[in-house]
Chain A
């Protein structure tokens, strides 16, 4: 039973390029969450999705960032026109239901470096 799978594990992008981060939830999990962790800082919520729906994107910057969780395939976090401040670890978590009632498990993360 595979855990939450994220790829790539490491991603280097030049300023102005696009970054695409992928997350496949655990089997049986239909709720996906994206978090960002800056060096020496805590985990900050970005977005919560269910299949084909964005439920809560209150933590996501209004510009350049978007997320989707299509009917088929992984969830994708897209960052357009990356800047150095986007360099961080991006973690995806999944749960079988809302975290009010269930537990969320994290993937290994994607470490984005913008040069």
Chain B
């Protein structure tokens, strides 16, 4: 069974702190990884994509990928209350280039 695992949270961080969201997956052959943000009652919004081991930075967001350990993480620097949402990890499994498989998401709460 190919799986994408995320801690459901909620993860609570104070405003201005770094939020660290983690995702592990079961298929060592997975190649494409994505982080989406979903506000309650809204649609998923793409934040980052990452394909190679290492870090990828975009503004306050940094995605980190470690294929050997089969995890991908998202760091949010200087967290703002507007970052409070559910963060979904998604990836493609080997042989299924046609679809994204999603984790159940981690709910992030940024407190004042």
Size category of the binding interface on chain B: 20 to 34
Question: Which residues of A are found within 8 Å of B105, using beta-carbon distances?
Answer: 42
Q: Across the interface, name the chain B residue whose C-beta is closest to A97.
A: B97
Given contacts A42-B103, A43-B102, contact A99 B44 (CB under 8 A): no
Size category of the binding interface on chain A: 20 to 34
B62 at the interface (CB under 8 A from A): no
With the chains together, A82 CA to B105 CA distance in Å? Answer: 28
Question: Which residues of B are found within 8 Å of A109, using beta-carbon distances?
Answer: 43
| A83, chain B: closest CB distance, angstroms | 23
Near B by CB (< 8 A), chain A positions 79-106 give 91, 93, 98-101, 103-106
B101 adjacent to A41 (CB under 8 Å): no
Most buried by B among A33, A42, A103: A42
Residue of B32, B45, B96, B104 near A106 (CB, 8 A) is B45
Question: Which residues of A are found within 8 Å of B49, using beta-carbon distances?
Answer: 103
Near A by CB (< 8 A), chain B positions 78-112 give 88, 90, 92, 96-105
Question: Which residues of B are found within 8 Å of A59, using beta-carbon distances?
Answer: 99
Question: Which residues of B are found within 8 Å of A108, using beta-carbon distances?
Answer: 42-43
A-B contact pairs, 22 of them (CB 8 A): A41-B104, A42-B102, A45-B99, A45-B101, A56-B96, A56-B99, A59-B99, A98-B97, A98-B98, A99-B92, A99-B98, A99-B99, A100-B32, A100-B92, A101-B32, A101-B97, A103-B49, A104-B100, A105-B46, A106-B36, A108-B43, A109-B43
